[in-house]
A and B are shown apart, each in its own frame.
Chain A
Amino acid sequence: MKRLAAISALLVVCASYSFGADECVKCHQLLGDKPTQLFKKDIHASKGVSCADCHGGNPRSDDMERAMSKAAGFIGVPKGDAISEACAKCHADEAKMKSYGSALPVNQWKTLQTSVHGKLAVAGKEHIAQCTTCHGAHGIVSAKNPASPVHPLNVVKTCATCHSNAVYMRSYNPSLPVDQNEKYRTSVHGMRNAKGDTKVAECASCHGAHDIRSAKDLKSKVYATNLPATCGSCHSNAEYMKEYDIPTDQLEKFSSSVHGIALLQKHDLGAPACNSCHGNHAATPPGVESISKVCGTCHALNADLFSASPHKRAFDDLQLPECETCHGNHEIVAATNELLGTAPEATCGRCHSEEDNAKGFQAAALMRLLADSLESGEQQAQRLVDEAEQKGMEISEAKYKLRDARQARLEARTMVHAFDSDKFSDVIGKGLTVASTVHGEAQAAVDEYYFRRVGLGIATLIISVLVVSLYLTIRRIEKKQQKATVL
């Protein structure tokens, strides 16, 4: 009897609720399951989204059979793409989102599908990542809420769940490193992030969120040609960077540098982007001593020569950044002869003054002199070759040889870094010899051009004399004929 009374009481309680509150919550609360607990704090709950809005079914029916019947549209726990599709029912519908008072974008599901995470998962039936993979399911809060798994302070950990899992990542992209998180923690960004700075870059700042693409994808925010702008979105923003006390003109300087022009204008992927020198996940400025190593990854020969040169120790002793001291960093331009020598705009003179260091001063002056003489020698030869060519003379052979002079000049540019005037003058000498040979050949071609004109002059003279004497002969013959007829 007692039992019967209890059941009837429950039914009465249930029935009495059936007209106002959500039957799902009522029952599931009694069962004490975790999703229902979590959902209470969910932003969706506060906006009036019910269980049935995602799971289907009839929330007003207190009959379990009927409430969770297929006829009432109950789908149970969604699996695979059905999860994201359930979210997209509202999140891809602008009108519906507006009715909830939300101004969120409505393209997340669409962009997620085109992203690298939109590829099919191993099972082959669903996309790799669903909404819930990053945002969670029943405790979803705004990304600005520190409790959110995608909050700037949490997002690294969230991404790392998969990306630091070597076993998991192997099934998708075995060549992709899994140490990004570790590296990130050593970077300036990572260390500040760990201290609770939400302004520094985390994964999504550079890679994007729903629209993440492979770094090899031309449209990726971290593709080499796009990367400077991506870094610049924070680092060039003086307002944003105010509290960090570092310059904000790096992007501007880089864009007009030899590297920036090669990368951004010529789309030369061999040219360095920000990360080539600073690292990406472990981004930090290279230290004084490591500069020549960093530059040396591409400019290997120069770095080797420099390291073997007497300057290496001197720079280390003076704590001077190696390449940067002469060449600068972000604003680096193609080196010219102006950098060399003792003139005010040259760099050597900054340390090697005539009084303090006469030997170095003289060496710098000599090297500049040699470099200039090769350059002008090559230019003169080039000019003469051009002149001959423009005069219609064929001198492709000399032109071919001129390549060697140019090569010697470029080699000399490299050889400067040995800071040894003997080695330097050897290379220059090679170039000068070629330049003078070419000069001679081009001169011969130009001379030939004038020979033609002189030849024409002589021929014209001969023909003129012939014409005049022929004319006189004709006149004489006619005179004779006239006399003959008169007689």
Chain B
Amino acid sequence: MKTFLTKIYTYVDERVQLEDLVQFMGKKYVPVHRHSVWYYFGGITLFLFLIQVVTGILLLLYYKSGEELAFESIQFIMSKVQFGWLIRSIHSWAANLFILAAVIHMFSVFFERAYRKPRELTWLTGMLMLFLGLGFGFSGYLLPWNELAFFATKVGTDIAGVVPVIGKPILIFLRGGEDVTGATLSRFFGFHVAVFPGIFTVLLGIHLLLVQRQGMSEPLGVEAGAAAPQKTMPFFPNFLLRDLLLWLIVLNILAILAVFFPWELGQKADPFAPAPAGILPEWYFLFMFQTLKMIPAQVWFIDGEVLGIVTFGIAGLLWMLVPFWDRKSARGEQNRTTTYIGIFVVGYIIILTILGWLL
């Protein structure tokens, strides 16, 4: 048995120099300190993405896009296909946990200043992937073509349409026409299963390559205060096995969620029905939704909604470009301003999300 495996290993090694990779991984160390726990969220996000890929492909076997078929096909998956309910519920739950894990990963990177030189590109690709993840969520939400999704998409695309100058063309592009129709469904389906995954894979490749190449970043404080030799742990097998262990736990959580809280399907969308009460976007859009609701209709002479959207756009852009304006951290100095900004943003998102739920 052992000799057989060795033979295979040797066979592959002779052709692709596996030994180099093992050497590389063996020499890779992960710093150990009191913030180490945050290192795992990147891995969890990656794992959830892989789950999405697998369950997404499985759903594709039975899902049918189109106004007349989408809802019915999901109903079919949920009721007739063996374990269809499991696959769909896991896909829906994992989507939400993916965004959650990605957001935690992003903020941990932010607060540990891991974006500073030389990891600007890692941060940029990560941010782009987070935005893509939101796009995945928004487009995937519509695919079951149920009432809630229909109206959430209507509202969501409406908001995009408010952006000055480019808003209207964007709205038409997203909807595939003036209204949310079967054409919108086709487009969102295309984005969700072809366009986004393609871009995401490229970004993910770069992101992972950079992480492997540059190793894990150490927080500023730990670096500075460490007089004694750095505590580390080998990436392979110690860190990787821990990663796997966590992934198993996440998988189990997903199964529990899927069995006890199967994702609901609701009513089939009817474009002529009045909007049902209590339409909310997915929770990760809630803080933006709530902000737009709370901004007065007119601020000076600017339309409140436009102001909100433009502000969010600029804020998002600034956030993404933090490695380039946070010069202090880049030089390896403590920068309290960014910490305060980060705390403000986290607090704002949490409070507005809660308000969005309650109001």
> A residues engaging B (CB < 8 A)?
392-394, 452-453, 455-456, 459-460, 463-464, 466-467, 470-471, 473-474, 477-478, 481
Contacts and interface: CB of A to CB of B under 8 A. Distances in A.
Nearest to A457: B259
Contacts of A452: 85-86, 259
**Which of B75, B233, B234, B241 gathers most chain A CB within 10 Å?**
B241
B61 interface: no
Interface string B69-93: 0000001001110000110000000
B160 to A, nearest CB: 34
Interface stretch (B99-107, B245-253, B337-345, B346-354): B245-253
A467 B248 contact: yes
Given A456-B259, A460-B252, A471 B79 contact: no
B238 interface: yes
B89 to A, nearest CB: 10
A467 B238 contact: no
- Interface of chain A, main secondary structure: helix
B321 interface: no
Interface residues of B, number: 22
25 contacts: A392-B78, A392-B85, A393-B79, A394-B75, A394-B78, A452-B85, A452-B259, A453-B259, A456-B255, A456-B256, A459-B255, A460-B255, A460-B256, A463-B248, A463-B251, A464-B252, A470-B245, A470-B248, A473-B241, A474-B238, A474-B241, A474-B242, A477-B237, A477-B238, A477-B241
Given A393-B79, A460-B256, A471 B238 contact: no
A394 B249 contact: no
A394 B80 contact: yes
Interface string B25-55: 0000000000000000000000000000000
B351 to A, nearest CB: 35
Contacts of A473: 241
Contacts of B244: 470
A459 B78 CA distance: 20
Nearest to A394: B79
A474 B245 contact: yes
B262 A392 contact: yes
Given A463-B248, A470-B244, A474-B242, 12 more contacts: A392-B262, A393-B79, A394-B80, A455-B259, A456-B256, A459-B255, A460-B252, A463-B251, A471-B245, A473-B241, A474-B241, A477-B238
A358 B262 CA distance: 58
Q: Which 3 A-B pairs have the closest CB atoms?
A: A394-B79, A456-B259, A463-B252
Contacts of A394: 75, 78-80
A305 B244 CA distance: 76
A477 B256 CA distance: 31
Nearest to A392: B262
**Which of A453, A466, A467 gathers most chain B CB within 10 Å?**
A467
A349 B65 CA distance: 64
A463 B252 CA distance: 7
B241 A470 contact: yes
Nearest to A445: B79
A473 B238 CA distance: 10
A453 B259 CA distance: 7
Contacts of A471: 245
Nearest to A471: B245
B262 A467 contact: no
Contacts of A393: 79
Nearest to B246: A467
Contacts of B245: 467, 470-471, 474
A220 B78 CA distance: 54
B242 A467 contact: no
A481 B241 contact: no
Contacts of B248: 463, 466-467, 470
A393 B86 CA distance: 13
A172 to B, nearest CB: 45
Contacts of A392: 78, 85, 262
A387 to B, nearest CB: 16
Contacts of B237: 474, 477
A460 B248 CA distance: 10
B43 to A, nearest CB: 15
A464 B249 CA distance: 8
A75 B233 CA distance: 122
A456 to B, nearest CB: 4
Contacts of A467: 245, 248-249
A459 B257 CA distance: 13
Contacts of A477: 237-238, 241
Interface in B152-181: none
A456 B262 CA distance: 13
A111 to B, nearest CB: 41
Nearest to B89: A392
B238 A459 contact: no
**Which of B238, B244, B252 gathers most chain A CB within 10 Å?**
B252
Contacts of B78: 392, 394
Contacts of B233: 478
Nearest to B241: A474
Contacts of B242: 474
Contacts of A470: 241, 244-245, 248
A460 B75 CA distance: 27
A27 B249 CA distance: 120
B249 A481 contact: no
B98 to A, nearest CB: 20
